[in-house]
Chains A and B, each alone.
Chain A
């Protein structure tokens, strides 16, 4: 008899048992926007628990990026890998985390086809909670990636003059920006029809954005027309701000620009995302 629930064939709906669960108890008040978002964040964490392999992209990928670019360019650009690492680490951290943000779009795109999304959309909760939940789960992933890179960097000889406080502040700024930037991907995740196209668009956006910046080399070494793009690129501002925080010499201008960009991303892409979510 222990297989009752397992086989699903010997179950007989019992009127009494069902009557108990149907007894209309008082409905609890609806959860707050924050509480609903956190609950969806918990869902994202549960998914990581069930499929831990998906942490590969936030551990192995950043590790590879850091090692690869430090030793590839270090000698040529700064005389030695350790010298170069002082310049590169904040930038490679930004690049890795910003690249990882695209998984948000893939996840949303995969989930939206599932019936469970319909259930979420019929719940009387704060509408953006589902999407904010994804992003909260992702912020956890970004934290893991940043931590991995910081630790690897420290082992390889990265010595930020801003100390631990500076490094942590830099990471916090990066997490905040990434949360805002991810709304671009929730939009594409809802807009595009397949995971493949989400992937394609992500690459088209991320490669120029991360490479055509100040991550690898000083923009002054580039041709003038390229400098124009690089100096407008939000990633450039983010890298400058993170670098300045880690170096213990906060760059107020860059910090403000990053905050402005973040507000713009949430305002523009967040509202498009919610429009798409409500119409899907």
Chain B
């Protein structure tokens, strides 16, 4: 199947008694950024380590470009590279030495290895730092060197395990830009993240996983609309009017209205069956009714649910199902 970079079915990995990956099914199309989103301990890293041939699964199957990750590990290794959660570079060596070492291990002869290292340092803005030991680098520089090492032989599939965790916003943006350029050149990127914003910005498709299982999958837009057409946020001028506003909104929108911790705010999720017109229509009717009832509204907004809401909705749902079972 040339269109799929990764395919897994029923993947299981158990540590002691914890099922870190618990029957995971993934189908990752080639040539795009695929986001794997989940909280800490959801099994993201374990899944990536299995796919990168670092761990053997206890059950199920996984293939990368059609090669089985256990039986044909070597074929997989020649097409992927991985940037781990903790920088996969050697602290005690210089940036240049790290790249030369890898270039040599990937089969470049000495002069070619040096040239390739210099070229990469230049492209990643590390030329001047190249002669220093990596332990003197900032988090952003280290991450750039790490990615440079990962594309030394431009891989067909690049694993980025939480590439921006612990980075300042500026370095994070740099990493995002680099990822976009890498993907534009035909490399498939599998990115794990616990940041919804990151998945939303970068990924073409997202798998949401929790407790080692896939709980939702789709484009960022699909995931959002699966939870509802959007949310209405209302900010009132007078906290005393909140109860009345809550009653009116519940009636008109026919949905649950949440009180926010801030005493003048209310939020309601509109279930417009995925039709945005209906949501907008309902929302404007609600606004008109509030005004007619003499409630002053300082701020009113209708937005698509963000991935935070999607994630909470999906995990809540699952928690309820489990209790019922």
Chain A residues with CB under 8 A of B122: 17
B80 at the A/B interface (Cβ < 8 Å)?
Answer: yes
Interchain CB contact under 8 A, B84 and A5: no
On chain A, the residues within 8 Å of B286 by CB distance are: none
Overall SS of chain A's interface: helix
Shortest B92–chain A CB gap in Å is 5
Given contacts A13-B177, A18-B123, A123-B105, contact A47 B112 (CB under 8 A): no
For the complex formed, measure the closest distance between the CB of B268 and the CB atoms of chain A, giving whole angstroms: 41
Interface residues of B in 89-124 (CB under 8 A from A): 89-93, 97, 101-102, 104-109, 112, 119-120, 122-124
- Interface residue from B90, B108, B154, B171 paired with A43 (Cβ < 8 Å): B90
Interface residue stretch chosen among A28-36, A85-93, A237-245, A263-271: A28-36
Our pick among A4, A31, A43, A119 for the contact of B128 (Cβ within 8 Å) is A4
Closest to B149 in A: A119
The answer for the CA separation of A279 and B78 in the assembled complex, in Å, is: 19
Q: How many residues of A contact B (CB 8 A)?
A: 49
Which segment, of B52-60, B258-266, B309-317, faces chain A? B52-60
How far is A123 from B81 in the complex, measured between Cα atoms in Å? Answer: 8
The interface size of chain B toward A, counting residues with CB under 8 Å, comes to 63
Contact flags B132-145 to A (C-beta < 8 A → 1, else 0): 01000110110010
- The interface-forming segment of A19-27, A140-148, A187-195 is A19-27
Nearest residue (CB) in A for B143 is: A8
- Highest count of chain B CB atoms <10 Å: which of A12, A36, A124: A124
Residues of A within 8 A of B181 (CB): 13, 15, 18-19, 22
A115-B52 contact in complex given A9-B140, A13-B181, A19-B181, C-beta closer than 8 Å: no
| Residue in contact with B112 in the complex, picked from A7, A18, A28, A118, CB distance below 8 Å | A28
Pairwise interchain contact A14-B123, C-beta atoms closer than 8 A: yes
Are B182 and A28 in contact, CB atoms less than 8 angstroms apart?
no
Rounded to whole Å, the gap between the CB of B67 and the closest CB of chain A is 11
B90 contact from A11, A24, A114, Cβ within 8 A: A114
Q: Are A20 and B123 in contact (CB under 8 A)?
A: yes
CB closest chain-B residue, reference A20: B123
Please give, as numbers and ranges, the residues of chain A lying within 8 Å of B97 by CB-CB distance. Answer: 46
Q: By the criterion CB–CB under 8 Å, are A123 and B106 in contact?
A: yes
Contact call A13/B174, Cβ cutoff below 8 A: yes
Q: How far is the CB of A57 from chain B (nearest CB, A)?
A: 17
What is the CA–CA distance of A125 and B81 in the complex, to the nearest angstrom? 13
6 CB < 8 A contacts A-B:
A11-B174, A12-B174, A23-B154, A28-B108, A115-B86, A124-B77
